[in-house]
Structure 1
Amino acid sequence: MVDVLSQNEIDALLAALSSGEMDAEELKKEETQKKVRAYDFKRAVRFSKDHIRSLTRIHENFARFLTTYFSAQLRTFVQISVVQVEQLPYDEFIRSIPKMTILNIFEAEPLEGRMVLEVHPNVAFAMLDRLLGGAGTSPTKINSLTEIETIVMERIFSRCFDSLQEAWKTVIDLSPRLEALETNPQFMQIVSPNETIALISLSTKIGDTSGMINLCIPHVVIEPIMPRLSVHHWFVSQKKTSAPEEQEALQHRVHMAKLPIIAELGTSHISIQEFLNLSVGDVITLNKSVDDPLHLRIGEKLKFYGSAGTMKGKIAVQINEIVHEGVEENDE
């Protein structure tokens, strides 16, 4: 990215050149010299800025879906948003999370490999407290999970992967499935320590409790679909038109749709008392004569004028005129 100088910075630079504090010839020499930038092979850059932007966009939707899901499950105020998306070695991610935390290890077919959804203990136990009827507070000291707590957490976090599936739908149809729930990061080795991962950090607030939810996606897992994360692929996929087979199938379904057609002989207004006194043989006078055209309605909308008759011994209606758009119906 090119840095743009402000007017004050330009004035200061010109003043320094005119006063002799800076030498224009030295500046030219510095521009011609080759600039060397240190490269750390342990922090290999596998995700481009384009990939990072796409992952950010996908998981902003994921955060929105999670907010809706947890708000409904916990019946309290929940706010989840993406803080940052970065790439770093897997070993650095393991060292950055607490020694006791909630690690949801899952797979997402058709991708091969495992990913991790790490939930900070403050957030996880606030959810657990809320699900068990509490106010949604987190204990000050957390040792380990009981069998009941493990089952409850597995159920709530396994369902949240539906939100991940929905967020990734524009790129690929995933089928996430919770494989295991761990609490000790040292027992979780899904890739080699130097493997580059994409770390999506989600800021989470449940009532008065706040913490982080981290989604760890190894590069080796999503490497087969990396081309789909480019902006070019997004624009091309948006411009794609449906195939002829899909258009024919859609047209066939539209043609097979059933519509209610009503042939209206006329209308009449009677009082409640007259309605209650009706008996067999009574005649109700309509507002139309025998010579007036019948109103044919599609649903509740007037579309045709017709006349009554019979065909092969059955009552039928013949269409005489099409009612065009904009023609107002005249009630007599």
Structure 2
Amino acid sequence: MCRGLRHQLTSAALRENKPPLDTTVSRRSRPILQVPEEESAFMTEKTLTANEIDDLLSVFKGGHKGAESLSDVESLDLDRPNRIPRGILETLEIRHEQAARLMREGLRVALGKELQLSLLGLEQERFQTFKERQEEPCCGFVIDMPPLRSPAYLVMDFAFAFACIDRLLGGTGSDAGSGRELTATEVSVLSEVIEAVLRAHVVVWDRYTKLTPTLRKTVSIPRFMRDIRDEDAMLTAEYRFKDFVDGGGFRLSMPLPGLEGRLQFGGDREPTEDEGATDQVRGELQEHMVDVDVDVSVRIGGADITVGDILALEAGDVVLLDRDVKTQLDLLVEGRPKFGGRLLRKGRKLVFRVDGESPASQRESSNES
């Protein structure tokens, strides 16, 4: 190909009575193209060095030293979207653990038996992925969740469902029963267990929205379900029993499209006792929070100065702050004033002595009330 191109350039130059272009590349300087002198008035000779050519070639070979490293690039799993920020997800995990304790109490009353129930996991996934993980047939229930437009989907292990039915009918809790669609009578008997599960999750989401769940229908073949779109993101909580029905359990998949906005801007109201959260549960929830790290800082003072003054600052300049030397300093917790006190010294370290609640914190509390 190069030989043919050189021949064409030489032939064209001979027809115009011009010397042929020198297309050879020197090993020392590696010029790309040398232009005849009569054309140098409007074109300048450009010569690349050996290092420049090596750098240029390395780009196409994928070895350019300025290329970004892929070592910190994470894989994208479209079946498991990350729609909930990590901090909010950790809070939801704690609240679902609280739901497990509430369900233990509700199921104890319904079944007359002490059960050990715990949260196995909380996962974000597409509804299509959730359906593919379920056995067919399965013990599934479509749950309307007003004010959410999309319903939730509750799936119980057959061993757990049949053991509950037997227990509610006066038996010992035998899980004998094959995988099949439940009869209307069996669903009616099992409704007391379903209500205990849903009541606990009303408490979980009460901080963000007031749910009023109701059982719509049973669906034993998940792949035929059309009440929820396959591409919808779901938040699935899975629970497991210990020393009951061979470790069986159930899964509740909540629709995220109706919850995301409420998760971002939900209120801070905690459930009241009348709504199912007892003092004991609150105490256990508080025990989980004591090890959570928070950012703490001390505010010495501030000042309002112009951009010009900032640009003119030099070493040795003094900035006058808005705080008197006798005024308490503020200890900020996550950026908000909480305590007042003074700076002291311990060895070569500064320490803060808490004298009481910060006046700024008291003003914020009075404004909020």
Tell me, yes or no, if the aligned pair for 2:138 and 2:180 is still in contact at 8 Å: no
* Separation of aligned partners in 2, 1:140 and 1:151: 17
SS in 2 for 1:217: strand
The alpha-carbon deviation at position 32 of structure 1 amounts to 6.8
Question: Structure 1 residues 51, 140: closer, same or farther in 2, change over 3 A?
Answer: same
1:48 aligns with 2:85: yes
* Separation of aligned partners in 2, 1:190 and 1:156: 23
1:116 aligns with 2:116: no
* Separation of aligned partners in 1, 2:147 and 2:168: 33
Equivalent residue for 2:69?
Answer: 33
Asked which structure has the greater RCO (Cα within 8 Å, sep 6+), the reply is 1
* Separation of aligned partners in 1, 2:69 and 2:226: 45
**Structure 1 unaligned regions, length at least 5:** 1-28, 248-332
Question: Structure 1 residues 226, 137: closer, same or farther in 2, change over 3 A?
Answer: same
Alignment of 1:149-228 (within 5 A): 149-205=186-242, 207-228=244-265
Which one has a larger percent strand, Structure 1 or Structure 2? 1
Question: Structure 1 residues 164, 44: closer, same or farther in 2, change over 3 A?
Answer: closer
1:95 aligns with 2:132: yes
SS in 1 for 2:145: strand
Could you give the per-residue CA deviations for residues 234-259 of structure 1, whole angstroms, max 9, x where no partner exists? Answer: 999xx996989xx8xxxxxxxxxxxx
Count the aligned residue pairs. 214
Match of residue 148, structure 1, among 181, 185, 204: 185
SS in 2 for 1:204: strand
Question: Structure 1 residues 176, 135: closer, same or farther in 2, change over 3 A?
Answer: same
The alpha-carbon deviation at position 74 of structure 1 amounts to 0.5
Question: Structure 1 residues 118, 167: closer, same or farther in 2, change over 3 A?
Answer: same
* Separation of aligned partners in 2, 1:206 and 1:149: 24
Question: Structure 1 residues 69, 43: closer, same or farther in 2, change over 3 A?
Answer: closer
SS in 2 for 1:141: coil
Tell me, yes or no, if the aligned pair for 1:50 and 1:229 is still in contact at 8 Å: no
Aligned-partner residue type, residue 101 of structure 1: C
Equivalent residue for 2:175?
Answer: 138
Q: TM-score, normalised by structure 2?
A: 0.51
* Separation of aligned partners in 2, 1:199 and 1:82: 11
* Separation of aligned partners in 2, 1:97 and 1:162: 24
* Separation of aligned partners in 2, 1:189 and 1:132: 33
Tell me, yes or no, if the aligned pair for 2:207 and 2:266 is still in contact at 8 Å: no
* Separation of aligned partners in 1, 2:237 and 2:218: 19
Question: Structure 1 residues 153, 206: closer, same or farther in 2, change over 3 A?
Answer: farther
Equivalent residue for 1:74?
Answer: 111
* Separation of aligned partners in 2, 1:168 and 1:218: 12
Aligned-residue CA RMSD (Å): 3.3
SS in 2 for 1:190: coil
